[in-house]
Amino acid sequence: MTTIQQKTTDILNALDCHDAELSILIVDDPQIAILNKKYLRRNGPTNVIAFPMRTDQFSNINPELLGDVVISIETAEKEGKNIGISMEERFTQLLVHGILHLLGYDHEESEQEADKMEKKSAEILKLIES
């Protein structure tokens, strides 16, 4: 099992989503900028975008399918350097963040929701690192 697969499995297990499925797409900044513009109407690259599958009328067709997480490896590397951690550590943080979005967490909805998501993210990261 690859490191990304193992990390993803660890994250899903920590969230009690043992049978969940998702796809992970690793892209560069120009590719994520295209997705950011097309789906979120925002200019420029971002670090992670999540496309949840449990939010529409077809969510009951395959309830174990969480959705897609897209991560810019370039932005992960830049952000890691800026905050003094490895690209791998930052990638894991972004993976947790994206998976939490797939499960309905939303830091843009309110400050309270942002705090809830940040606490859950820290909890998951602590669990998978130990």
The pLDDT tens digits for 1-43 are 578 999 999 999 999 998 899 999 999 999 999 999 999 999 9
Distance CA 8, CA 18 (A): 11
What CATH number corresponds to the domain at position 46? 3.40.390.30
**pLDDT, average across residues 90-94:** 96
For residue 9, give its domain range: 3-129
7 phi and psi, to 5 degrees?
-60, -45
Distance CA 95, CA 71 (A): 8
Question: How big is the chain by its Cα radius of gyration, in Å?
Answer: 14
Q: Kind of pairing, strands 21-27 and 65-72?
A: parallel
Domain count, the chain: 1
At 102, list the tokens. 């797939």
**pLDDT, average across residues 57-70:** 82
